Chains A and B, each alone.
Chain A
């Protein structure tokens, strides 16, 4: 896995760029408490009314305060942290489920495959967003973890499909046959022969799930359907809209979360593309070598 990542880094400029940008944001998210603790002390970052509303940018409040009396920098950093957390959590859950389903489907074949595949396809076809909105509306107290789970529920399908397709090709590879005639049993083949070669696809599926979850989260929050007691980037967008920041000439309140999201999505996409770039020329090389 590491050598794969290292090779992607060396091969693809896109990959480098994406990783750097993403790393910056992750660093910001991780270091966030160090920055906002001095400003708000022990209070929760989402707590309103701590400061005066609509303060401009000053030394104490580098980005000013918002309409609820919260320090904007804190808003932003805490929101970034939560949004990323939701995304990665959802991504992990989705990937794990997706891998499990994809593997089972492809390796077992037969009716197991038929059932799982139908279910997966149904999930992909169902318009996820309206359902997410409906669930969000109906569930009053949505914690971060629960949101992650719900979001994960809708993003594992893509992972499962990709993994299934890959495993089905790999099942027929000569080295799998060699393993069989060398006495390897089925489980050994899945874990030692097939799984390691799936790493790139697992990573890509994971990246896709993360992005999917974050997009969904922003969508729900921006409409105001999510929990309003935990600050996330999506929620910031919702508030910004509600306060009418365009006319107040404090556009940055909207632009910061939007900009951050755009950059994060771009970074993850570039990472995905970078991995593809690395994989494809390698495939080409293998076929022209005789």
Chain B
């Protein structure tokens, strides 16, 4: 039984996530880590997924790829990945209901995933070349020569010498190991790469190099990159569009320039204003008061209301829907109740 398939005449959309809910069964009830996420990813863009610890972004990233492990499970929702069949149409299939064999085909070949701490899971007893080649053989039918050629191509693209192939992971520095994981990820020319905090453990200098390389590779190869990190400055450097996640939901989604210049959601505003800037005004900053809520017990209505400086009565009762309030800018906040299209949709509590 193959997954549900739909056709689109718009080839710009690469992925559509609709009302995705990923929950964890715990002894204290269900932890609703991802609780109704709606996202659209466009082809060839660098989409930044921002948010702080506990907001659900890693769960989301892993969930789309079918990597959710017990006690986590998909409660509902779809993650539809579209592949181009012609210049004007694409065919989409739901990754969440795909049979495992098809999903494995998808992974690596179409969607590559660089998990958090990827450089630490390189097998310490295998040479680099074998690790990359194994990934290539596993997910494609390239011949040995083709695979080797491809591997060297990728190593060069990430700025590593061909001699690295014969080395073991412990002989490389953190930055080099991370580049190896990136090389492995692009080896099969995927359409989408999802990277989860790839530079968190690296030095600032190394981070700069890797970010610049990732950006070049993404633009150069025409692939789409979903970059997950809590570091807003990194998003400012490389993202085209930004999705801000809070308490398992996307609260704002907009082009990165707009997000920084005029953030709409009070959480985004708080987030951006709590980043210390070198050379900026040094008056005391306040950050966002209160604590991040727990997925076992999300606040009622709008989840941000207990910490929001502009909370109103309605915020406590009803969850604001995600509305497009300006071209390309979506926000889920009662301060912006009117969508571009005019009609306000029914609210859910």
A289 proximity list for chain B (CB < 8 A): 53-54
Tell me if A288 is interfacial: C-beta within 8 Å of chain B.
yes
| Bound Cα distance A11, B71 (Å) | 11
- Chain B's interface size range is under 10
| B27 contact from A11, A288, A290, Cβ within 8 A | A11
- Note all chain B residues with C-beta closer than 8 A to A288: 58
Query: Is A10 in the interface zone, CB < 8 Å from B?
Result: yes
Residue of A nearest to B59 (CB): A288
Shortest CB distance B111–A (Å): 21
- State which of A11, A281, A290 has its C-beta within 8 Å of the C-beta of B53: A290
- Chain A's nearest CB lies how many Å from the CB of B230? 8
Among A7, A10, A11, A288, the most chain B Cβ lie within 10 Å of the Cβ of A288
Interfacial residues of chain A within 1-48, with CB under 8 A of chain B in the complex: 7, 10-11
Q: Residues 254-290 of chain A: 1 if any B CB is under 8 Å from the residue's CB, otherwise 0?
A: 0000000000000000000000000001000000111
> Chain A: interface secondary structure?
helix
Distance from A11 Cβ to chain B, minimum over Cβ atoms (Å): 7
Q: Which residues of B from 103 to 143 have beta carbons under 8 Å from A?
A: none
CB A8 to nearest CB in B, in angstroms, measures 11
Complex Cα spacing A289 to B292, Å: 13
Compute how far the CA of A289 lies from the CA of B56 in the bound complex, rounded to whole angstroms: 11
Closest-by-CB residue of B relative to A288 is B58
How many angstroms between the C-alpha atoms of A7 and B27 in the bound complex? 9
Give the complex CA separation of A289 and B295 in angstroms: 12
- Binary contact track B215-239/A, C-beta < 8 Å → 1, others 0: 0000000000000001000000000
Q: How many A-B residue pairs have CB under 8 A?
A: 10
Which residue of chain A lies nearest to B70 when distances are taken between CB atoms in the complex?
A: A281
Contact A10 B27 (CB under 8 A): yes
**Which residues of chain B are within 8 angstroms of A10 by Cβ–Cβ distance?**
27
Q: How far is the CB of A32 from chain B (nearest CB, A)?
A: 36
How many Å lie between the Cα of A289 and that of B54 in the bound state?
A: 7
Q: How far is the CA of A281 from the CA of B26 in the complex (A)?
A: 11
Q: How far apart are the CA atoms of A281 and B31 in the complex, in Å? A: 15
Q: Mark B49-93, 1 if CB is under 8 A from A, else 0.
A: 000011000100000000000010000000000000000000000
Task: Give the shortest distance, in Å, between A10 (CB) and chain B (any CB).
Answer: 5
A147 to B290, CA, bound (A): 62
Report the Cα distance A202→B53, complex, angstroms.
Answer: 34
Say how far B136's CB is from chain A's closest CB, in angstroms: 29
Q: Mark B11-50, 1 if CB is under 8 A from A, else 0.
A: 0000000000000000100000000000000000000000
Which residues in B have their C-beta under 8 angstroms from that of A290?
53-54, 230
State A11–B54 Cα separation when bound (angstroms). 22
| Contact partners of B71 in chain A: CB under 8 A | 281
Chain B contacts of A7 at CB under 8 A?
A: 27
- CB of A199, distance to nearest CB on chain B (Å): 19
Distance in Å from the Cβ of A282 to the closest Cβ of chain B? 11
A105 to B230 CA separation, bound complex (whole angstroms):
43
Q: With both chains docked as a complex, state the minimum distance between the C-beta of A16 and any C-beta of chain B, in angstroms.
A: 13
A288 to B54, CA, bound (A): 9
- Report A-chain residues with C-beta under 8 Å of the C-beta of B54: 289-290
Residue of A with least CB distance to B117: A287
Contacts of B230 in A (CB 8 A): 290
Q: What's the least CB distance linking A136 to chain B, in Å? A: 44
Complex alpha-carbon distance, A75 and B314, angstroms:
75
Bound-state Cα–Cα, A290 to B230, Å:
11
Q: Give the chain A neighbours of B53 by CB distance below 8 A.
A: 289-290
- Closest Cβ of chain A to B271, distance in Å, is 16
CB distance from B56 to the nearest CB of A (A): 12
> Can you name the residue of chain B whose Cβ is closest to the Cβ of A11?
B27
Alpha-carbon distance between A10 and B58 when the two chains are bound, in angstroms: 27
Chain B minimum-CB-distance residue to A7? B27
Name the distance in Å between A146's Cβ and chain B's nearest Cβ.
Answer: 45
**Which 10 A-B pairs give the minimum distances between C-beta atoms?**
A290-B53, A10-B27, A289-B53, A11-B27, A288-B58, A289-B54, A290-B54, A290-B230, A281-B71, A7-B27
Not counting A7-B27, A289-B53, A290-B54, a sample of 5 additional A-B residue pairs whose C-beta atoms are within 8 angstroms of each other reads A10-B27, A11-B27, A288-B58, A289-B54, A290-B53
Q: List 10 A-B contacts (CB under 8 A).
A: A7-B27, A10-B27, A11-B27, A281-B71, A288-B58, A289-B53, A289-B54, A290-B53, A290-B54, A290-B230
Interface residues in chain B, defined as those with a beta carbon under 8 Å from any beta carbon in chain A: 27, 53-54, 58, 71, 230
- Residues of chain A touching chain B, judged by Cβ–Cβ distance below 8 Å, are 7, 10-11, 281, 288-290
